[in-house]
Amino acid sequence: MAEIKCPCENEQDSSDDGLDETCIFCRIANGDDPYTEILAEDEEMVCFRDINPGAPHHYLVIPKQHIHSCLSLQADDIGIVRRMADMGRDVLKARDVKDFEDISLGFHVPPFITVPHLHLHVLAPFSQIFKWSMEKYTRFWYLTVSKLIYFWHFI
């Protein structure tokens, strides 16, 4: 299950309740960050705006349980990835995004992550991605949900 971390990431211990007190995303997921507006929430995850948006709509979906990164996921975690993507799409719909062919849902691969807590980037419209962020969301270190699910079929 997702609690298993990469051997290279052993310094990122989480507590018994699945939260890491030093992790800003754990604090956000727990409702302990007064500066972050939660756009969507369920018992498993939350969605909020990225503080450094790369597109007109740029949101992050994070699990409440501390999971280090997409490399920490196993094939049986496909359900949480799909639910994260569904929440991202729901937030886009609530914000009147109509063209779901022009979105990107994906994860950065370590070491190219800024916060060591699994987070799904939800970007729309992807055709209007900001120039400065083009490299961040089009290179090999950005793994889309569809690619991740495709790779799991071979595991």
Name the residues annotated as catalytic. 119
Neighbours of 77 (CB within 10 A): 20
Q: What tokens were used for 85?
A: 């993507």
Gap between the Cα atoms of 85 and 122, Å rounded: 8
The C-alpha angle 137, 109, 145, rounded to 5 degrees, equals 65
Q: What tokens were used for 28?
A: 């956000």
Gap between the Cα atoms of 103 and 43, Å rounded: 25
90: part of which helix (H) or strand (E)? helix 78-94
Gap between the Cα atoms of 37 and 48, Å rounded: 6
Whether 39 contacts 48, CB under 8 Å: yes
